Amino acid sequence: MKISTITLLEELKNRTGQHLQYAETLLLKPDNDLNFRMDTDSWSVLECLEHLNRYGTFYIPEISHRISSSRTSSTSDFKPGILGNYFAKSMLPKDKLNKMKTLKAMNPIHSQLNKEVVNEFIKQQEQLLHLLEKASTINLEKTKTAISISKLITLKLGDTFRFVIYHNARHIDQAENVLKNI
């Protein structure tokens, strides 16, 4: 599977823009709604965003560093890697979400959270949009990033963007479902 680099970056920018707009609407919600959980083992809206913020804290500096140090020029097409494509596709929201275990350090359950979590998420989405813009000048296949679970495994930058943004989409869907149940 090959995809136009421009098409890929535009799709990712559009998704990120939607995540940003959604987060901005959350600032208008009462704290009680944002902290509501459907049961004791499920995440609240703020916990969903805090989980994403924790991943963003790793991936945004990693992506930024790799873009800044890349000496490659952009190409017209992007071909996902086998592992990166698998990771990215596994994050896409589905009608029936497959539950996944999260690393303990990335699990915010029962944290004391407030709207600062939403503000941080908004800031991270703005940073992602900026990085997607900068990425249009480099090769998304040859530029590699480390992943949060192991510095030994690297993914193509295009796959890393897809993983991070699809992961965001997955938990935005989760947050929307929580609010529907209030």
pLDDT tens digit sequence for 26-54: 999 999 999 999 999 999 999 999 999 99
In the predicted model, what is the mean pLDDT of residues 136-155?
Answer: 95
Contact partners, residue 150, CB within 8 Å, separation at least 6: none
pLDDT beyond 80 at 25: yes
Q: Give tens-digit pLDDT for 146-173.
A: 999 888 899 999 999 999 999 999 999 9
pTM score, two decimals? 0.96
| Amino acid of residue 41 | D
Look at residue 146 and give its three-state secondary structure.
Answer: strand
- Amino acid (one-letter) located at 86: Y
- The per-residue DSSP string of 49-90 comes to HHHHHHHHHHHHHHHHHHHHH------SEE---HHHHHHHHH
